[in-house]
Amino acid sequence: MRITDKMISDRVLNNIQGNIKKIAKLHDQLSSGKMVRYPSDNAIIATRAAKIESRLREIEQYKGNVDYAQNILQSYDASLQEVSSVYQRLRELIVQSANGVLTADQRQAISKEMQEIKDHLIQIANTQIGTDYVFGGYESNKAPVDETGNIVLNPDAAKPRFVNVLGYQVKYGLTVNDVFLTKGGVSVFKLIDMTVNALENNDQRMLSKASLMSMDFLEDSVAKSLAKIGASQRMIEMVSSRIEDLNTFMNEYISNQVDTDLPKVLTDLSTQQAALTAALKSAANVITATLVDFIK
């Protein structure tokens, strides 16, 4: 086979072009920090990375759901602690009210404080995070208790909330019925009104038995609710930890598969640049001069 000058020139130029392409690719890897950016770089790794990145976006959404649930649970915990303290004070007032030797001024003072307690409990029952009423169940956009103390929560909405995380549901919600209703279905707000009325009428039976029995149930409900919220908080913390572990693992995996190995790329770049320099010097000796080179 006869080797012509043109064949030699084409081969030399093709090799030089190949060196330049390799250098350009190495520069892309350095500037982007990614060894695999397109499926053409490595179809298997690019497809695998795309699937993991999609999973990471799901995990990020799960993390947002869990963070919101944690905020709600913290609000429940603070609200229940406050309700527990208020219920204790309410019990003390009921016990004082049952004292048949109270003066009219003392009864009036107790009645006034009970009204203030009622207003305070209404505020707690209508606790909000953003625009959500935490005790509103599935009607979180509506106040569960009106300004007079009537529970207006729809019975169908009086269900605990839940959050979808990693393919399963974590229940975490309370409603106004769980904390502010007695065993007989009478709200604590109505109970306060009845107690004030009994106080004004000096109804010792109502004060000493019915009211105190209702307070027993309410305080027990708060204790159970606190235990439930504590269990939900521990579960959410475990889920949150699991999400963080998955997020760390997947990011590390993508980094190992896709990210540029800087020391290796720098070494390869130096090698390719040296090869290009040598190829250019060699080409200067191999490619035959033409008449154009002699035109001055």
The amino acid at 210: A
Q: Which residues does 105 contact at the CB level (< 8 Å), separation at least 6?
A: none
Phi, psi torsion values for 4, nearest 5 degrees: -100, 165
Task: Return the number of other C-beta atoms located less than 10 Å from residue 221's C-beta.
Answer: 22
What are the helix (H) ranges across the chain? Answer: 5-32, 43-97, 104-125, 176-180, 188-200, 204-205, 211-258, 262-286
Amino acid 292: pLDDT: 47
With CA atoms as reference, report the closest residue to 180 among 132, 207, 219.
219
Q: Which residues pair with 34 in a beta bridge?
A: 259
Q: Which residues does 15 contact at the CB level (< 8 Å), separation at least 6?
A: 279
Q: Which helix (H) or strand (E) holds 33?
A: none
Q: What is the DSSP letter of 139?
A: -
> Strands 168-171, 128-129: parallel, antiparallel or unpaired by DSSP?
unpaired
The whole-angstrom separation of Cα 28 and Cα 34 is 8
Q: Which residue matches tokens 């909330």?
A: 161
Task: Return the number of other C-beta atoms located less than 10 Å from residue 260's C-beta.
Answer: 20
With CA atoms as reference, report the closest residue to 16 among 274, 283, 268.
283
The whole-angstrom separation of Cα 221 and Cα 37 is 58
Amino acid 100: pLDDT: 67
Are 254 and 45 in contact by the 8 Å Cβ rule? The answer is no
Q: How many CA atoms lie within 13 A of 291 on its CB side?
A: 0
pLDDT by residue for the chain (296 residues), tens digit each? 566 667 767 777 777 777 777 777 766 666 666 666 666 666 777 777 778 888 888 888 888 888 888 888 899 999 999 999 999 999 888 888 877 677 778 888 888 999 999 999 999 999 998 888 999 888 888 999 999 999 998 888 788 777 777 767 777 778 999 999 988 888 999 989 888 888 777 767 666 666 778 888 999 999 999 998 998 888 888 888 888 888 888 887 777 776 666 676 667 767 777 777 777 777 776 665 554 454 54
Tokens linked to 3 = 């080797």
Phi, psi torsion values for 162, nearest 5 degrees: -150, 160
Tokens linked to 115 = 């009204």
